[in-house]
Amino acid sequence: MAFINNHAPSPSPGGMPPRPESLKNAETYHDVKMRLHDRLIELMDLTRLESMPPEVFRTEVAKLSEKLLNDEFKDVPLNQGERERLVREIHDEMRGHGPLEPFLNDPTVNDILVNTFDRIYVERNGKLELTEARFKDNSHLKKIIDRIVNRVGRRVDETTPMVDARLPDGSRVNVIIPPLSLDGPVLSIRKFSKDPLELSDLIRFKSIPMELGDILQNIVRGRLNILISGGTGSGKTTLLNCLSRFIPNDERIVTIEDAAELQLKQEHVVRLETRPANLEGKGEVAQRDLVRNSLRMRPDRIIVGEVRGSEALDMLQAMNTGHDGSLATIHANTPRDALMRLETMMYMAGFNMTSSSLKRYISSAIDVVVQIARLSDGSRKMISFQEITGMEGEVITMQEIFAFEQLGLAPDGKVRGRYVSRGIRPRFSERIEAKGIKLPGNLFVQRTMLDI
């Protein structure tokens, strides 16, 4: 075999590696897997693993595993299904992400949450479920974590017990280990969709009605500044991705993110990502630095993946100084809360202005706030579409154009509700039509747009 290690130690007499007497009659699946894994490590020439093509590696691991199972582990009672699963998981241990590999390859899984080595949760269709997968122990979990963070040039240990990283496919990873986590290493993975959703998919899923999809397309083409607000996991980045599709191909787009998640399909895109400080506490590049730098890059559109700090000031300044058509997301429960958070962030940036002046600055920069939410049945919906109309005294004035009204729950737990148009024609409609974009005459008539 191409990568057999000829200097590997021989197995113990009888063909089996040494093991406690108690295991001969009570072999566990994980014991077999870890012992088989250790035996493969002994036999393989590890220096050749990284250069070997994935398919060749998989085939060779399968052949050697089968040989070991037949020769050295023949007294272990495993049926054919268990043997196939064992070989597959051994491959994942050596080249992939161990017990997490099936979930990383499962398109129905959105999040993978490892609370302890033996409690792995996944999110499917907005609902969390406990899986049967587990790591052998905390050391096994820590080994997989090290493999993930080392591939992106990061490290996690007692001096740096918290790390954000990315998998090769762009999936976002967060790790926190003892002494900060009390029960062992904790791993969270927000998966990166290989086939990103389109606006038509959101309409098909009834996350938005068709008419609202049309208005979203038009306000992007009409270069309105849009703020997408919502909670964690509500779909803010997904909607931002969908809206970005309607930016014309001849415009220069600069994206700024903490962890690169956006999947823009235009050709003229510059992607920027923040950088954390190194072990000496130097070299950090924050979002605010990137937003400032982007203004020198002649952007037609600026997209900020998530506004969470002092970069809000520079983003709003860009929106107020000719960079219209910008998009951003923010964590907030309501459109009004989103504007309050922006005001707080501007104070964090040291912007020395009165509260009234800050609010006027925000109201002149943002045109539309889109609120999305994950409902109790796990579905994600746009629950409010509001236009900022200006100021009245010390208050930013807003008017809700479209909304989702929840009416109750069906017997199967699904949310029942309806999308409604409030019967208000937004002020931005004149700006949109002045750019040659025609809006249907009955689009803003007060009515129920879609029942769910």
**Edge-to-edge strands of the sheet including 269-273?**
269-273, 253-257, 301-304, 327-331, 226-230, 368-374, 380-392, 395-409, 415-421, 447-451
The DSSP string of 186-204 is EEEEEPPPSS---HHHHHH
Torsion (CA) 198, 200, 201, 202 in degrees, nearest 10: 100
Give the sign of the dihedral formed by CA 74, CA 75, CA 80, CA 84. negative
For 242-266, write each residue's pLDDT tens digit. 999 999 999 999 999 887 788 888 8
Mean pLDDT of 214-225: 94
Half-sphere exposure of 431 (CA within 13 A, CB side): 14
The separation between the first and the last C-alpha atoms of the chain, rounded to the nearest angstrom, is 60
Residue 202 in this model has a pLDDT that exceeds 70: yes
Residue 239 has phi, psi (to 5 degrees) of -65, -40
**What is the structure's pLDDT at 24?**
37
For residue 123 the two structure tokens come to 């999110």
Which of these ranges, 28-32, 57-61, 159-163, 421-425, has the smallest mean pLDDT?
A: 28-32
Beta-strand relationship, 119-124 and 109-116: antiparallel
Which domains are assigned to the chain?
21-94 (no CATH), 101-190 (3.30.450.370), 199-451 (3.40.50.300)
**What is the structure's pLDDT at 301?**
92
Residues 6 or more apart from 362 whose CB is under 8 A from it?
Answer: 316, 339, 342, 343, 346, 388, 396
pLDDT band at 91 (very low <50, low <70, confident <90, very high): low
For 305-329, write each residue's pLDDT tens digit. 889 888 888 888 888 887 889 999 9
Q: Which of 242, 175, 174 is nearest to 203 (CA)?
A: 242
Half-sphere exposure of 114 (CA within 13 A, CB side): 32
**What is the structure's pLDDT at 29?**
64
**What is the structure's pLDDT at 16?**
37
How many contiguous H segments (helices) and E segments (strands) does the chain have? 13, 16
pLDDT band at 55 (very low <50, low <70, confident <90, very high): low
Q: How many residues does the chain have?
A: 452
More confident residue, 429 or 136: 429
Q: Which of 301, 306, 330, 326 is nearest to 316 (CA)?
A: 326
What pTM value is reported for the model? 0.77
Give the Cα separation of 372 and 402 in Å (integer): 12
More confident residue, 327 or 159: 327
Residues 6 or more apart from 322 whose CB is under 8 A from it?
Answer: none
For 114-127, write each residue's pLDDT tens digit. 999 889 999 988 78
**What is the structure's pLDDT at 75?**
66
Give the sign of the dihedral formed by CA 130, CA 35, CA 84, CA 139. positive
Q: How far is CA 272 from the centre of its chain?
A: 17
Residue 12 burial (CB count, 10 A):
11
Q: Which of 370, 440, 342, 398 is nearest to 224 (CA)?
A: 370
pLDDT band at 42 (very low <50, low <70, confident <90, very high): low
- Dmax over CA atoms of the chain, in Å, equals 89
Torsion (CA) 254, 257, 262, 268 in degrees, nearest 10: 10
**What is the structure's pLDDT at 133?**
85
What angle, 0 to 180 degrees and rounded to 10, lies between the N-to-C axes of helices 287-294 and 311-320?
20
Q: Supply the Cα-derived Rg of the chain in whole angstroms.
A: 27
